[in-house]
A and B are shown apart, each in its own frame.
Chain A
Amino acid sequence: AQTVTQSQPEMSVQEAETVTLSCTYDTSENNYYLFWYKQPPSRQMILVIRQEAYKQQNATENRFSVNFQKAAKSFSLKISDSQLGDTAMYFCAFMVPDKLIFGTGTRLQVFP
């Protein structure tokens, strides 16, 4: 079975600090993509960052970076210099042909 596990239901961080969200997954596929999506109260899923499984280099997008450990099937998200606007649900997902498989999400609260 292909699964995604996010073991942190809720996290909080102070503005300007750094926080890391954890994600592990299980798949027998060798080629796949991994994603972190952000879902604010507006409900729209917004792509935060993407990682190709065949690339060893960790993806970075401005304040967002990942730590991808393929052998361990781990894909954590680091948010640096946290901002109030980062408050949202964060979903880890991986893509196999034709569909995304999501975790249960981590609710991140950034406080002043």
Chain B
Amino acid sequence: DAGVTQSPTHLIKTRGQHVTLRCSPISGHKSVSWYQQVLGQGPQFIFQYYEKEERGRGNFPDRFSARQFPNYSSELNVNALLLGDSALYLCASSFPGLSGYTFGSGTRLTVV
């Protein structure tokens, strides 16, 4: 079975641009979460979606948005990119009623 897949693996953007990151959960998992991991730190929670509805949002500006599609895949969008948005963006999926998340390998975003 495929794990959590994220695309692209690496991305370089210029300040002020917009970026879209994509995530496909494990088959059968209906919940998708997004995390930002800045170099040298632990991941920080951005969003959680379950059954296409936002269930949680971390302390991130409105430039960050996300959505979940009927097939449970998800997109994370970041507008007006700043240098400080450079990070590894991790997607995780989970199955209802089970504790714990399975993570993808992440998208490395560099803003120049």
Measured CB to CB, the closest approach of chain B to A99, in angstroms, equals: 4
5 examples of A-B residue contacts, CB within 8 angstroms: A35-B100, A100-B33, A100-B43, A101-B45, A104-B42
| Residues 42-63 (chain B) with a chain A CB within 8 angstroms | 42-45, 48, 55-56, 58
Is the CB–CB distance between B42 and A43 below 8 Å? no
Interface residues on B, range: 20 to 34
Of B18-26, B67-75, B76-84, B101-109, which stretch is located at the interface? B101-109
Q: Is the interface of A mostly helix, strand, loop or mixed?
A: strand
Decide if A102 touches B42 in the complex (CB within 8 Å): yes
Contacting residues of chain A (78-98) with chain B, CB-CB under 8 angstroms:
91, 93, 95, 97-98
Q: Is the CB of B92 within 8 A of A45?
A: yes
Q: Does A77 contact B (CB under 8 A)?
A: no
Q: Is the CB of B41 within 8 A of A104?
A: yes
**B45: which of A42, A52, A100, A105 is its contact (CB, 8 Å)?**
A100
Q: Which residues from A are CB-within-8-Å of B103? A: 37, 44-46
Question: Considering the complex, which residues of chain A in the window 28-85 have a beta carbon less than 8 Å from any beta carbon of chain B?
Answer: 33, 35, 37, 42-47, 50, 52
A4, B92: Cα distance in complex, Å: 20
Number of interface residues of A (CB under 8 A): 24
CB-based contact B56/A105 at 8 Å: no
- Return the chain B residue nearest A46 by Cβ: B103
Q: Is the CB of A45 within 8 A of B100?
A: no
A residues with CB within 8 A of B? 4, 33, 35, 37, 42-47, 50, 52, 91, 93, 95, 97-105
CB < 8 Å neighbour of A43 from B44, B56, B88: B88
Cβ contact within 8 Å between B99 and A95: yes
- Smallest CB separation, A10 vs chain B (Å): 12
Bound CA–CA A91/B103 (angstroms):
13
List of B residues within 8 angstroms of A46 by Cβ = 103
In the docked arrangement, what's the CA distance between A95 and B35, Å? 14
The answer to whether A45 touches B43 (Cβ under 8 A) is: yes
Q: Which residues of B contact A97 (CB under 8 A)?
A: 56
Q: A33-B100, A52-B99 are in contact. Are A44 and B56 (CB under 8 A)?
A: no
